[in-house]
Structure 1
Amino acid sequence: MTFQELKPKVTEITTNNTQSRDEKLLSICQLLNANIEYYNWVGFYFANHEAKTLHLGPYVGAETDHTVIPFGKGICGQVAESNANFVVPDVATQDNYIACSFTVKSEIVVPLFVDGKNIGQIDIDSHVIDPFTEEDERFLEFVNQEIAKLY
């Protein structure tokens, strides 16, 4: 399924009045994981700005021990500080990478803004080296804009 075909499905999920916010987030993870071949782990982390930590939210994929990540640590922690998308074509080249699994080869993290504040992020791992394009970034920005309406 193309990103253009997925966009209305994302909106359908976020506007569904029968699901809780976490159920909607999980449904989005499931949608992306099932329809984009190289999205092998899809999840959300949410910021606790007082503690300067990220906390794992709904996700689909292999279990992770990384349920709390300090700001600045790993790709997700760096995005919490930079407020910018971070695409890692090959995780083996990153010094500040938190290894989740030896099967992960690349990662993309896109911050989630609500009223201009970075409240979290969508994090996607792939078992393929360098699959993410600018089209992935624009699509995930769209996903996060739709999710921001839930807050």
Structure 2
Amino acid sequence: MNVAALSKNIDVIIGSKKSKEEKLQSICDYLESEISYYDWVGFYFRNGSKEELKLAQFTGEPTEHTIIPFGKGICGQVAVSNQNFVVQDVSEQENYISCGWKVKSEIVIPIFVDGENIGQIDIDSHTANTFTEKDTELLEYVCKQVATIL
């Protein structure tokens, strides 16, 4: 994975004249198309003042998990912990919400605006034990850039 090249293309998307929603969708589409083991890419954001996340833009199979309570599943845990969460094998995670039988691993990185966790990027993979430090590095960069348009 060439983090520098991928990051430059994220910068192009962020700097485009598209709407915020179009930029988020373009990021999902780009990451899913460029990284072979990114099988579902999506953004969840805090749903107003509620203690829940709401699905925004995504690429991949539709999910029934459009609203996730804080603390539930990987995404809900990140909303509470404010920490990156990498799950190399979802079958070993007790507090996991299954988005499909094909999902084997997941990585969730929070998005901060003015020090507040306002959402996250969520990546599902059909391959177990696939995520590395390069994924974390890239997705942290994506989240920092996304924060600039929110």
TM-score greater than 0.5 by the shorter chain? yes
One-letter amino acid matched to 2:122? D
Give the structure 1 partner of residue 138 of structure 2.
Answer: 139
For residues 36-73 of structure 1, give each alpha carbon's deviation from its aligned partner in whole angstroms, at most 9, with x where no partner exists: 01100000000136210000000000000000000000
For the residue of structure 2 that corresponds to 1:62, the secondary structure is: coil
Q: Equivalences for 1:30-109 in 2 at 5 Å? A: 30-48=29-47, 50-109=49-108
TM-score by structure 2 length?
0.98
Q: Any runs of at least 4 consecutive aligned residues in structure 1 with deviations exceeding 6 A, and if so which?
A: none
Q: CA deviation at 1:25?
A: 0.3
The question of 1:12 aligning with 2:15 is answered no
One-letter amino acid matched to 2:108? V
Give the structure 2 partner of residue 3 of structure 1.
Answer: 3
Q: In 1, Cα distance between the equivalents of 2:100 and 2:87?
A: 15
For the residue of structure 2 that corresponds to 1:76, the secondary structure is: helix
One-letter amino acid matched to 1:59? F
In the alignment, structure 2 segments of 5+ residues that lack a partner are none
Q: How many residues align?
A: 150
CA RMSD between the two structures: 0.9
Q: CA deviation at 1:135?
A: 1.3
Q: In 1, Cα distance between the equivalents of 2:48 and 2:149?
A: 19
Q: In 1, Cα distance between the equivalents of 2:130 and 2:15?
A: 30
When residues 134 and 10 of structure 1 are mapped into structure 2, their CA distance, relative to the original with a 3 A threshold, is same
Q: In 1, Cα distance between the equivalents of 2:132 and 2:33?
A: 19
For residues 1-22 of structure 1, give each alpha carbon's deviation from its aligned partner in whole angstroms, at most 9, with x where no partner exists: 62221111100000112x1101
One-letter amino acid matched to 2:143? N
In the alignment, structure 1 segments of 5+ residues that lack a partner are none
Q: In 2, Cα distance between the equivalents of 1:66 and 1:34?
A: 22
Q: In 1, Cα distance between the equivalents of 2:69 and 2:14?
A: 28
The question of 1:23 aligning with 2:22 is answered yes
Q: In 1, Cα distance between the equivalents of 2:9 and 2:125?
A: 22
